[in-house]
Amino acid sequence: MSDCIFCKIAAHEIPASIVLEDDEIIAFEDVNPQLPVHVLLIPKEHYANVGDAVPPELLGKLFSKVGEVARIKGVEESGYRIIANTGEDGRQTVHHLHVHVLGGAQMPIRMGPAD
């Protein structure tokens, strides 16, 4: 999608601090980190969210890269959280499928403001 910021990052049209990349997946540092480690994993092809007819093999590949990101960022042993927000009620703010990998500190019980 031409107006999707994550598509532009995947196409290297917008700079990002890339953690990991292959032909189908890119992982980069979140610009508004909620914890010391906050990386986003996205498929390079645009899908609005996890329910958007994403091929199962691509979903598997996306989630299989979580452990590699955790190793790269040094949180594999201490622990981390993975989150995939979906839709407005799920607080998805960028409508391109993405998985958050968060760690590097004790997880709060609740993250962000309660609206």
* Catalytic residue positions, numbered: 98
- Number of residues written out for the chain: 115
The CA distances from residue 104 to 35, 59, 60, 78, 90, in Å, are 7, 25, 25, 8, 24
Cα end-to-end span (Å), the chain: 30
At 8, list the tokens.
């532009």
Segment 79-84 long-range contacts (CB within 8 Å, at least 24 positions apart) = 79/103, 79/107, 80/37, 80/104, 81/107, 84/49, 84/50
